[in-house]
Structure 1
C-alpha cells in the first residue's frame, strides 16, 4: 500500500539496553533483543503489524487506538513474565502513515519515536487520541502536560498510562538494569540503608567495587 491511512503507531524498546550490553556482553544483549522480538510476534493479532525491529526496539502499527492499547497490554504482560528481562518503555501516537516497501514513514512515525525517547523505563507515554481511548477503557491516565520536541513547531500533549499489574516489574538490577524477582536474585547487597538485588554475581561484584556509581542518589 502506497497511500496514507490513520493507524496507531507504537515504538516499544528495552530500557537500559546499553547498560545490559556493557555488563553482559554483545552476545547476551543480542539474544535478549531477539527474544523480545519473538515475544512481540507471539502476541500479535489481526489488527496488528510488526513493521520492523530496530536494534533493541520494535516498531508496530495497529488499526485503532483501542487495538493499539490491547497490543501494548499483551506485550507488557508477556514480557513481565520473563525473568531477568529489561523494563520496557513505550511511545504511541495516532495519525496517517505512508507505506513503502513494507516500511512506514511520516510525521506520525517520527512523533511516536520522539515520544518513546521521552519515556523513562517502565513508562508508557502517548498522545491524546490513545489516552482518550485508554480513559474510556478504564486504564489509568495521567496528563503530564505539553512537551516541545525539536523541529516540531507545536508542543504535544502527553499522557502517562498505568496498566496496573501488567506493568509490575519487580526489582531492577542497578548495574545492568534488568528486572529481577526476589526469589531468583543471584545476590543482595545493602548500601547506605538501601537493599539492592542483582541478576548475577558479576553484577553484584561490579556494584560492590563502585557502589556510588550505581546506587540511588
Structure 2
C-alpha cells in the first residue's frame, strides 16, 4: 500500500500525522492495512467508499472510546493507590469483554440491517418517516446545571427516546445533545413516538423534558448509517416551527396518517430552503 494512502487513512481515523521516523505504529496497524488492501483488491471497497467507511469508523469509535475511557478513569480514581496503575489494571481486565460485546452488538445490527436491505427494492433510496424531537429551553436549563447534572439529564433524555423509538419499530439515527433524529418505516410509529414524547414532556410528574417535534414522510437517501435529502431537511425545519409540546408534520405525513389523529392546517411558513412550507399540527383524536 502506498505510504501516502496509509497516512491518509490514518488521518481519516482521526489521528494526527506521525513525524518522520517516529515510532507511532504497531504490528496491529500493519495488519489493519493488509486487511484493507485485501478488501480493496477484491473489489469489496472502492477508493471512495474506503475513505467514507474509515472516516465513519473513526468518528463512531472515537466517541465510544472517549466514553469508555472516562468511565474506567472514574472507577480507577475511586480506588486506593496509583490511579494510572489502577486504570491499566482495569483496562487489561475489561478490554477483552468490551471487544467481544462490541463485536456482538455489531453483528446483531448487521443482521438487522441486512434484513431491512433485502426487503427494499433500492438499497440507497427509501421511503421513511423522519422525525426530530427537540428539547425546549435546552440552553437556559443547561446553564443552571452542573456538568454532572447536565450529562445525566441528557443521557436520561437520550435513553428514554431510544427506548420509545425502538418500542415503535423505529431506529435512532443520531443524537444531537438537545435533539434526537429517528426514522420509522411506518408513519404511525413515528407519530406515536412524537406524540408520546410531547405528552410525557407536558406531564409535571414525568422527569422527561418538555419537547417539540417535526415529522416528515417521504423519500430519503440512506448512507453509512445516516439519512439525507429533502425529507430530512423538512423534518428539521418543522421542528423550528413547532411550539413547545406540539408535533408538526408535513404534507407527506399528513396524507399518510389516517384514523386516530386530527390534523390542523397551519399557515404556510418561510424557512431556510423552503419559501412556502405547509405545516400541519398533529394531535390524537380523543
Kindly report which structure 2 residues correspond to 1:101-180, keeping only aligned pairs within 5 A, or say none: 101-134=224-257, 136-152=258-274, 154-163=275-284
**Larger RCO: 1 or 2 (CA < 8 Å, sep 6+):** 1
Give 4+ residue runs of structure 1 displaced > 4 Å after superposition: 77-82
Instruction: State the superposition RMSD in angstroms.
Output: 2.3
TM-score (norm 1): 0.66
SS at match of 1:83: coil
Greater mean deviation of Cα atoms: 33-42 or 82-91? 82-91
SS at match of 2:254: helix
Unaligned runs of 5+ in 2: 1-116, 118-122
> Which position in structure 1 is the counterpart of 2:132?
11
Greater mean deviation of Cα atoms: 49-58 or 73-82? 73-82
Alignment check: 8 A CA contact 2:168 2:190 kept = no
> Which position in structure 2 is the counterpart of 1:50?
172
Alignment check: 8 A CA contact 1:91 1:126 kept = yes
Cα offset for 1:66?
1.9
Q: Deviations over 1:117-174 (max 9, x none)?
A: 121211211102322344x22323211121122233x512101122378xxxxxxxxx
Greater mean deviation of Cα atoms: 104-113 or 156-165? 156-165
Greater Rg by CA? 2
Q: Distance in 2 between matches of 1:8 and 1:159?
A: 15
Distance 1:84 1:71, change over 3 A: closer
Distance 1:17 1:164, change over 3 A: farther
Kindly report which structure 2 residues correspond to 1:5-44, keeping only aligned pairs within 5 A, or say none: 5-43=126-164, 44=166
Unaligned runs of 5+ in 1: 166-217
Q: Deviations over 1:29-49 (max 9, x none)?
A: 332221111111212136311
Cα offset for 1:76?
3.8
Structure with greater strand share of residues: 1
Equivalenced residue count is 163
Q: Distance in 2 between matches of 1:130 and 1:38?
A: 26
